[in-house]
A and B are shown apart, each in its own frame.
Chain A
Amino acid sequence: MEASPLVGVGILLLIAYVFFYLPRSQIRHILVIVILFMIGYALVVTVAEMPVFGSANTPAYNYVAKRYLEGTVAETGAINVISAIILDYRAFDTLGEATVLFVAIAAAIANLKAH
């Protein structure tokens, strides 16, 4: 699929032309429908190229997953591999998630209490 970057740039240029330069008219509606079909086609092509669910040749099954599955019990002492990943291997990432929660609740309280 060497043409896909060109197709993407073409879609973006068409979107920019339609939404910034074209006045509200019949041709604009037709072009919007064409753009939606092009975006939908790109999404369908992307999904069709994804690996089959559960197949062993998925790019995600590389040495990282193998290392986690083989070394979790010896390295972290937890037998739940997912907990070991999110709270030991990627604990800093989970701190970021906790920060997201904190910012969300702080923003909600600040907005609601102001009224």
Chain B
Amino acid sequence: MDDLVIRSVSRLVVPFIQLYGLYVIFYGHLSPGGGFAGGAIVASSMILYGLSFNLEAGSRKLGHDVSSFMESGGAIWYLIIGLLGILFGSNFLANRYAGVSLGTPGQLFSGGIIFFLSLGIGVKVASTMITLFYSLSGGEDSSGSNN
């Protein structure tokens, strides 16, 4: 899609969409939102970039290796935080009973593991949506055709 208006507007808008997505992820325990919604917003900014420029440029911005690393890393990050609860002498994914400091409610760094779990979910949802979009649209032919 080679249109000057769409390219100019999306070049202006994409950073703000990404910033808003990160805000929704990081403030998930203080305001409406969370990992799922914020990850979807971040992924939609990358999808907008790929649609308004071309698909090859979009898939070069976030290659297959990076997105698969984010995909597995989000799940492993979630599991590691859950196993830390066992390591500190409580249940899997324990928050307060594992001795995590809860902080003052209303501050950014409060809520114990909720902040970190939300970050992992956000990374995972974003990489899932981006990978699914570029796979279904056929934008990364060069990376996976040799196996």
Contacts and interface: CB of A to CB of B under 8 A. Distances in A.
Interface string A85-100: 0111001101100110
A77 B30 CA distance: 10
Interface in B132-147: 132, 135-136, 144, 147
Interface in A68-92: 73, 75-80, 82-84, 86-88, 91-92
Interface string B98-128: 0000111110001111100110110011001
B114 A84 contact: yes
Interface residues of B, number: 40
B21 interface: no
Nearest to A92: B93
Contact size class for A? 20 to 34
A105 B131 CA distance: 8
B31 interface: yes
Interface of B: 28-32, 34-35, 71, 74-75, 78-79, 82, 92-93, 95-96, 102-106, 110-114, 117-118, 120-121, 124-125, 128, 131-132, 135-136, 144, 147
Given A76-B112, A104-B132, 4 more contacts: A76-B95, A79-B106, A80-B30, A101-B128
Interface of A: 73, 75-80, 82-84, 86-88, 91-92, 94-95, 98-99, 101-102, 104-105, 108-109, 112-113
